[in-house]
Chain A
Amino acid sequence: MAIYTNLYLLVFLPVVLIVYQLAPKKARWGVLLAASYALYISFSKYLVLLLMATSAFTWGIGLWLDKIGEACKAKQAECTDRKQKSEVKKEFQKKRVLALRVGVLVLLGILFYVNYLNFVIDNMNIFLGKLGTQLPLVKVMFPMGISFYTLEAVGYIADVYWERYPAEKHLGRLALFLSFFPQIMEGPIARYPDTSEALFAGEPLNMANLNEGFLRIIWGLFKKMVVSDRLSYLTTHLFGNYQDYHGSFIVLAAIAYTIQLYLEFSGSIDIVIGSGKLFGVTLPENFNQPFSAQSAAEFWRRWHMSLGNWFKNYVFYPITVSPMVKNWNKTARKKYGKYWSMVGTSAMALFPVWVATGVWHGAGWKYLFYGMYYFVILLFGVAMEPIKEKNYAKMGLDPNARWLKILRILKTWVIIFTGELFFNAVNLKAGFHMFFSIFGNFHISSLWKYWPNVITTGDVWAICVGSVIVWIVGFLKEHGVDVRGKILNARTPYKWSVYYLIIFAILLFGAYGTGYQPVDLIYAGF
């Protein structure tokens, strides 16, 4: 039962809302947890046991860390001087590190087993085949949302280890945080303090939240069903038959897939955030007009923000302040100066982040390449930063000039489209084939001469008009005009006119019914 289906929107969600409202305040978190497990069972059946076991394990590690912390404080209270206290702290720190390692390794170990073991075996078999032997592949069932809830669980354990907040004593509360039904398929990846209070509070439903949630859900459906799902027929055809196309068609494939992915993923996140809002739970935002970014680094601060923040908080910063990187930094500053030590430190911290970001999306060389592609671009951006500033000053250019901003945005678009071309290619080899075939025989006129018969003129119109509407709303938000807020604050007749307009647009122009297949959520597969 995916979150864009009639079953979810017209049956599951209303039933959960009614039961939640009817339940006593103290039991409402239980309603949400039961609903979350019910939705999870509809996808992954008995693998719900793995989700439950992960929750119990994460909870146990948290309590273990807290217990070590309390024992440390008790022993420190018996100490008479600072030196003794520091020695006690060191002694208990070893135990805390052990608890952290056990927690993180088990959680990531399960993720590795599910997502990457067969990829590793496949690649090992290439070499082993030459020696006349082969390793058998492992039969693995895919537990829905494992890439999302594992990161949330690791983040929780790390935060408790760093004493950013105390461990959760209530198992149900942590289990609900990890399994909350709107989030389980595609995120956003939350931190424990982001949602735990509201999830457990059991506040009654109210009109403001219902209005906000409803508008967000229908807006998400509009993005997904009117634009993204229609585009998917074109991109599936172009990427699937890439050898038949070159030049302008490959550029079209890259641009169309980027728009499809953005509207599909951000649309689904709108449905997720809207669903949360109905219950008064504010989930973290995942997108902030990513196509207004003026650099690749800024793009990643605006695109899949919850994943970017997770890697920044739990990989990038810990590596930056790790003893190894710090020692290197100190030596490099003396030997090579501030600039090169900064570039080197950035490289050391960015490399693991982008290897992880790449493979988080899936087991495949194309995903690793995707990560490395952004690693090189971001590192180049860091290295060029001081030079760029000097060049602007030398040439007498104002870096904030409008035309320069537009040029930077266009440059960022080229980087994004190229990245998504490799991301969605059948495999890495196909990605390179498609990329190089752009430059041979490039004719814009091929687009209308050899237009594939997979989408109609009506589809093209719906895609273009829908994209323009989404772009206008995003453009206004970027310039400080909150269209959603204005609709919600408008008088009831105006507000409902907009609701009806969006609903009719989905009913009339949405890609469903005869001739259309339901399009799966892209990020739910990661």
Chain B
Amino acid sequence: MEELLEILQDIDDSVDYENETALIDDHILDSFGIITLISEIEEHFDIEVDAAEMTPENFNSAAAMWKMIQRLQEN
């Protein structure tokens, strides 16, 4: 989780990622932020994020992203 928070801080350090739960719904993380995020998490966590995962529910909070990363690591 720490590593994920560092990646997110690198994208935009003005956001409180530990408490924010509407990163996509409130457009805090925009489409271009998502592009950077995907390539970073794929590289750091050795996972493949495919189109089916691209839903707001998976990216609205750091906790949701972490859950998705763990699920993809298990598969």
* A326-B39, A326-B42 known; A321 vs B31 contact (CB < 8 Å): no
Q: Are B52 and A320 in contact (CB under 8 A)?
A: no
- Cβ-neighbour of B30 out of A297, A313, A345 (below 8 A): A297
Q: Are A321 and B51 in contact (CB under 8 A)?
A: yes
* A162-B52, A318-B54 known; A382 vs B38 contact (CB < 8 Å): no
Q: Which residue of B lies closest to A349 (CB)?
A: B35
User: Which residues of the partner chain B approach A326 to less than 8 Å between Cβ atoms?
Assistant: 39, 42
- CB of A118 within 8 Å of the partner chain: no
A-B residue pair count with CB separations less than 8 angstroms = 46
- CB of A211 within 8 Å of the partner chain: no
- CB of B55 within 8 Å of the partner chain: yes
Q: Are A320 and B34 in contact (CB under 8 A)?
A: yes
Q: Are A321 and B50 in contact (CB under 8 A)?
A: yes
Secondary structure call for the B interface = helix
- CB of A398 within 8 Å of the partner chain: no
User: Which residues of the partner chain B approach A322 to less than 8 Å between Cβ atoms?
Assistant: 51
User: Which residues of the partner chain B approach A338 to less than 8 Å between Cβ atoms?
Assistant: 36
Minimal beta-carbon separation of B62 from chain A (angstroms): 19
- CB of A482 within 8 Å of the partner chain: no
Q: Are A317 and B51 in contact (CB under 8 A)?
A: yes
Q: Are B55 and A316 in contact (CB under 8 A)?
A: no
Minimal beta-carbon separation of B74 from chain A (angstroms): 11
Task: For the complex, give the distance between the alpha carbons of A313 and B54 in Å.
Answer: 8
* A317-B51, A318-B51, A321-B49 known; A333 vs B39 contact (CB < 8 Å): yes
Q: Are A341 and B32 in contact (CB under 8 A)?
A: no
Give the interface size bracket for A toward B: 20 to 34
Which residues of chain B in 22-75 are interfacial with respect to chain A, using CB atoms and an 8 Å cutoff?
27, 30-32, 34-36, 38-39, 42-43, 49-55
Q: Which residue of B lies closest to A319 (CB)?
A: B51
Secondary structure call for the A interface = helix
Task: For the complex, give the distance between the alpha carbons of A141 and B54 in Å.
Answer: 37
- Cβ-neighbour of A320 out of B27, B30, B35 (below 8 A): B35
Q: Are B38 and A321 in contact (CB under 8 A)?
A: yes
Q: Are B35 and A346 in contact (CB under 8 A)?
A: yes
Among B31, B36, B42, chain A packs the most CB atoms within 10 A around the CB of B31
Task: For the complex, give the distance between the alpha carbons of A322 and B49 in Å.
Answer: 9
Q: Which residue of B lies closest to A313 (CB)?
A: B54
Q: Are A301 and B38 in contact (CB under 8 A)?
A: no
* A297-B30, A301-B27 known; A345 vs B52 contact (CB < 8 Å): no
- CB of A2 within 8 Å of the partner chain: no
Q: Which residue of A lies closest to B57 (CB)?
A: A164
Q: Are B54 and A382 in contact (CB under 8 A)?
A: no
User: Which residues of the partner chain A approach B34 to less than 8 Å between Cβ atoms?
Assistant: 317, 320
Q: List 17 A-B contacts (CB under 8 A).
A: A162-B51, A162-B52, A164-B52, A317-B51, A317-B54, A318-B54, A320-B31, A320-B35, A320-B54, A321-B53, A322-B51, A326-B42, A329-B39, A330-B39, A333-B39, A338-B36, A342-B32
User: Chain B: residues with CB nearer than 8 A to chain A?
Assistant: 27, 30-32, 34-36, 38-39, 42-43, 49-55
User: Chain A: residues with CB nearer than 8 A to chain B?
Assistant: 162-164, 297, 301, 312-313, 316-318, 320-322, 326, 329-330, 333, 338, 341-342, 345-346, 349, 382, 385
